[in-house]
Every structure is written in structure tokens, then in C-alpha cells.
Amino acid sequence: MRRMNGEINRLVHGFAAVQGLHPTDVHALAAILDAEEPMTPTRLRERLGLTSGAVTACLDRLERAGHVRRVRESADRRVVHLYYEQQAQPAARRHFAPLADAARAARATLAPGELAVVLRFLDAMNEELSTTRPPRD
């Protein structure tokens, strides 16, 4: 898993460099894209473990680069929703296509029962990791 994480980070860093972003910005994009409901700056801060100032700087970079749009909620103007801009997504799809291809190729080597076990393990790991925080010294 450490090796896989390193390879994914290599792709993340490459995309960040090509787009003129920080790797944290790419993690923010993924969080916005994967959110089941509109992401807010507060939820993004909690998800990434950043300060509010760091999230603001990240969102400013992403907005300037054309990757994210901030939309004020009409019912409560204090609430801001974050959206991944549609026109920015093809660049990410092209860059991360090798990752998707690798996942398809690896998945093809597994029998359906094996794949079910792997998916259960990955779901369990993601659930555990989502609540894990590093110790603060």
C-alpha cells in the first residue's frame, strides 16, 4: 500500500506541476469531485486537515487556474458551495488516465470473489483512515 500511495502521489505531483498548482490543491480537487453533496470550505478544511487560511489560499489558486468555482447558497449567502469546473476536468482525466488503466488491468487479473474481498478491504481501510488523525505533539 505504501508503494501504491507513492505511485499515486507521483501522478498527483506531476498534475500539480503541469497545472501550476500545489499537490494539496489536487487533493482538494479530488475531495470536491468525490463529495456526495456540494463541498463547502469548512468541510474541505476538515477533510484535508488544513487551517481556514490554507483552504482559502488553496481555493484562490484553484479558482484562478479555472478548476473551481465558488457559489453562494441563495437561501443563506454565508454558505459557499465549491464546484469542480466542467471545462477543467478533461485535463485531469487525460493526466490520470494511466491510473485508471492500471486499475482496470489489475482488476482484470482477479476473479470476482477475489475482487469482492479486495473492495471490502479497501472500503474498510478508507473508513478507518477517514477518522484517523495524526498525533499532535
Please count the other Cβ atoms lying within 10 Å of the Cβ belonging to residue 28. Answer: 29
Identify the pLDDT of residue 5. Answer: 92
Total number of residues shown for the chain: 137
Identify the pLDDT of residue 76. Answer: 80
Structural contact between residues 59 and 19, judged by C-beta atoms closer than 8 angstroms: no
Low pLDDT (below 70) residues in the chain: 137
Give pTM, 2 decimals: 0.84
For residue 17, the one-letter residue type is A
Identify the pLDDT of residue 135. Answer: 77
The answer for residues whose C-beta is within 8 angstroms of residue 8's C-beta and 6 or more apart is 99
Identify the pLDDT of residue 44. Answer: 96
Identify the pLDDT of residue 8. Answer: 93
Identify the pLDDT of residue 120. Answer: 96
Identify the pLDDT of residue 55. Answer: 96
Identify the pLDDT of residue 74. Answer: 77
Q: What are phi and psi of 51, to 5 degrees?
A: -75, 165
Identify the pLDDT of residue 56. Answer: 96
Identify the pLDDT of residue 4. Answer: 92
Structural contact between residues 68 and 62, judged by C-beta atoms closer than 8 angstroms: yes
